[in-house]
Amino acid sequence: MTMTENDRLLLNAYVDGELDSAHLLEFERRLADDSALADERARIEALRGAMRERLPRETASPALRRRVAALARPRPFATNWRAGWAAMAASVAVAFAAGSLATFVAIGPGNREPVSELLVASHMRAMMASQTVDVASSDRHTVKPWFNGKLPQSPRVVDLAAQGFPLVGGRIDVIGRTPAPTLVYRIRQHVISLTALPASLRASGAIRPIDGYNVVEWTDGPLAYWAVSDLAAPELGNFAKAFRAGAAEP
């Protein structure tokens, strides 16, 4: 029996699992009767198998990966990527090996997740949304009352514009099952998410950068503050210092 062009298309679609159920049944019946069709099917399957098994999976070289990643980084790293990365890695090691506590929180029965992981995810989600905040204001007297109406405990809102970190606004993240107030600050092109969580949500261990985001944590009375940003670690450290100094004032 000769194979028509249409038969060939159907056969290929069949092998690829792209035939809809209406055609599938009829085609399988024909396949059982038509040896030419069955032979061609065997050849197509053989080709697919050989390609799958024998062709090497292409991977981008580390050099290419670095060049492309540089596009996604702020200018200083883009111009001198290697040096920038090494310096950042070193400073991260120094800043974070010293004493932060990595934290785990029970999110649900039998499900333990590092808090920093959840916070980075929240930060990333906010960055991908059209707005990083639910209340947009650089005035702390606007942002703080907004939280008051929604959460039992509102965080300190510190004006850090003079220190180079203007307030962008605030939003509420849900970390595990805990609704948490998050303040958003900005420096140059970087966004900092500062989330306040109960201080009880802490455990031992070091906080590591996650997917290029740095995380800094400190406690203030009943609250633990977590800052997440793609800002370089020393600068994020400066932000934390400025916030704590500002929060200490009456």
Site of interaction with another protein (CB under 8 A): 2-3, 5, 8-9, 11-13, 16, 18, 35-36, 39-40, 42-52, 54-61, 63-65, 67-69, 71-74, 124, 127-128, 189-191, 211-212, 230
For 126, residues 6+ apart whose C-beta sits below 8 A from its C-beta are 132, 133, 171, 173, 182, 184, 191, 193
> What CA–CA distances, in Å, run from 64 to 31, 75, 143, 230?
47, 18, 43, 21
Task: Using the minimum distance from each CB to another protein, give the nearer residue, 131 or 219.
Answer: 131
Nearer to another protein, 41 or 244 (CB): 41
Q: How far is the CB of 134 from another protein (least distance, A)?
A: 16
Minimum distance, C-beta of residue 67 to another protein, in the bound complex (Å):
6
Q: How many CA atoms lie within 13 A of 145 on its CB side?
A: 4
Q: In the complex, what is the shortest distance from the CB of residue 93 to another protein, in angstroms, rounded to a whole number?
A: 22
Q: Nearer to another protein by C-beta: 173 or 230?
A: 230
Give least dist CB 128 to another protein, A: 6
Helices (H), 34-179: 35-54, 62-71, 75-79, 81-97, 115-128, 140-148
Determine how β-strand 214-220 pairs with β-strand 190-198: unpaired
Type of residue numbered 144: K
Q: Which is nearer to another protein, 63 or 162 (CB)?
A: 63
Measured from the CB atom, the residue of 61 and 111 that comes closer to another protein is 61
Task: Decide whether 44 or 151 has the Cβ nearer to another protein.
Answer: 44
Q: Tell me the closest approach of the beta carbon of residue 171 to another protein, in angstroms.
A: 15
Dihedral angle computed from the Cα positions of residues 62, 191, 235 and 187, in that order, rounded to the nearest 10 degrees:
120
Check residue 150 and report its DSSP letter.
Answer: T
Least separation in angstroms between residue 100's CB and another protein is: 23
Q: Which of 249, 209, 241 is nearest to 225 (CA)?
A: 241
Residue 136, classed as helix, strand or coil, is strand
